[in-house]
């Protein structure tokens, strides 16, 4: 866990006050939301914790990209033909030694949201700056809203830079540009990943409101992440028993990690045509082919709505608790 830099409270408050007066417009009915977003976003992009996580994502992304490019080149050398949806394979292709980029993003991206939100509120309380912030021309709801929006903005920029960088390097290595369908699928994948990481950000902010210590908040957030990433599948297998397709599938979809993985595979693999159980009659009567991007989006719509709903519930609970909390100097 990165060590937070020592902040001078007086200078920090003076800077926030000037931004609040400029952003909200004292006397014009503003809430100071823009000032909070600017200040929190600046702290995020200059903090060591985000730099470490971004560096980890970049290193793993470059390794996965190199492995996927080598696999594609070998396949082209054997068949003398360019594989179908070759650009998407830069993100989904892997080897026995190194998983694909999507596997690393699925595992590491939640840590980005947790790192940005686990001390959003309790960190201010421990530094005794929260009461001073609320003494400025800033509404209380602007504080919690600004912290969440700044985190989402940092997530959007990080994921956009990662996907764009991997795509640009893959284009240089392969010399094959993406088709319109592939580009739309990658954009949808970026939006889906942003929603997924925003859920963990909202959960971390919720724990930062509930707990007083940042270490406890971080431990609770990481515990939930590990539970759904590593242990939930084992519990589902035990509970489902002889019904892994029916009961097991619905229990698995309680996990946000499973919802994201299911939607991610559908978006990046056009050959996936259904996410539920399929009868033998349906398999025999199905026509061969791939799904257009519009049909894939329709297919993952329930998973996307589920992730948005989980994010909204977590943030709504943290918003209510924060607005009702008594904050003393």
pLDDT tens digits, one per residue of 207-252: 999 998 989 999 999 999 999 988 888 888 888 777 667 777 888 8
* Residue 201 pLDDT exceeds 90: yes
> What torsion, rounded to 10 degrees, do the Cα atoms 279, 285, 287, 291 define?
-30
Please enumerate in sequence order all residues whose Cβ is within 8 A of that of 52, keeping only pairs 6 or more positions apart, or say none: 2
d(CA 38, CA 44): 10
Residue 279 pLDDT? 53
Residue 310 near residue 113, CB atoms below 8 Å: no
Percent of the chain scored above 90 by pLDDT? 26
Q: Sorting pLDDT into bands at 50, 70 and 90, what band is 168? A: confident
d(CA 262, CA 188): 14
Please enumerate in sequence order all residues whose Cβ is within 8 A of that of 91, keeping only pairs 6 or more positions apart, or say none: 68, 100, 101, 102, 166, 186, 189, 268
Average pLDDT over all residues of the chain: 80
Task: Identify the residue with better confidence: 156 or 58.
Answer: 156
pLDDT tens digits, one per residue of 240-292: 777 667 777 888 888 999 999 999 988 988 887 777 665 555 555 555 667 88
pTM attached to this predicted model: 0.83
d(CA 181, CA 156): 22
d(CA 113, CA 155): 7
Mean pLDDT of 94-117: 83
d(CA 158, CA 54): 7
* Residue 81 pLDDT exceeds 70: no
d(CA 177, CA 220): 43
* Helix, strand, coil share of the chain (percent; to 5): 75, 0, 25
* Residue 123 pLDDT exceeds 80: yes
d(CA 248, CA 236): 6
* Residue 161 pLDDT exceeds 90: no
């Amino acid at each position: 866990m990165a060590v937070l830099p020592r902040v001078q409270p007086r200078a920090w408050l003076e800077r926030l006050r000037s931004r609040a007066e400029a952003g909200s417009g004292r006397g014009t009915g503003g809430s100071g939301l823009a000032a909070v977003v600017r200040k929190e976003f600046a702290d995020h992009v200059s903090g060591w914790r985000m730099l470490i996580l971004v560096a980890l994502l970049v290193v793993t992304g470059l390794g996965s990209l190199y492995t996927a490019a080598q696999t594609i080149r070998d396949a082209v050398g054997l068949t003398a033909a360019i594989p179908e949806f070759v650009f998407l394979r830069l993100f989904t292709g892997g080897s026995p030694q190194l998983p694909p980029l999507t596997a690393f993003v699925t595992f590491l991206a939640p840590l980005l949201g947790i790192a940005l939100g686990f001390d959003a509120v309790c960190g201010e309380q421990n530094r005794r700056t929260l009461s001073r912030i609320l003494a400025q021309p800033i509404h209380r709801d602007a504080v919690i809203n600004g912290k969440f929006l700044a985190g989402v903005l940092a997530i959007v920029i990080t994921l956009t830079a990662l996907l764009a960088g991997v795509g640009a390097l893959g284009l240089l290595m392969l010399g094959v540009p993406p088709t319109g369908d592939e580009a739309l699928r990658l954009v949808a994948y970026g939006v889906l990943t942003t929603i997924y990481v925003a859920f963990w950000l909202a959960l971390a902010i919720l724990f930062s409101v509930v707990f007083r210590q940042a270490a406890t908040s971080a431990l609770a957030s990481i515990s939930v992440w590990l539970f759904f990433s590593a242990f939930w599948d084992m519990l589902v297998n035990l509970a489902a028993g002889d019904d892994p397709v029916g009961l097991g599938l619905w229990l698995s979809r309680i996990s946000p990690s499973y919802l994201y993985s299911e939607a991610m595979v559908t978006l990046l693999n056009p050959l996936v045509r259904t996410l539920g159980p399929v009868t033998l009659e349906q398999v025999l009567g199905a026509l061969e082919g791939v799904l257009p991007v519009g049909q894939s989006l329709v297919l993952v719509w329930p998973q996307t709505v589920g992730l948005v709903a989980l994010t909204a519930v977590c943030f709504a609970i943290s918003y209510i608790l924060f607005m009702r909390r008594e904050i003393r100097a």
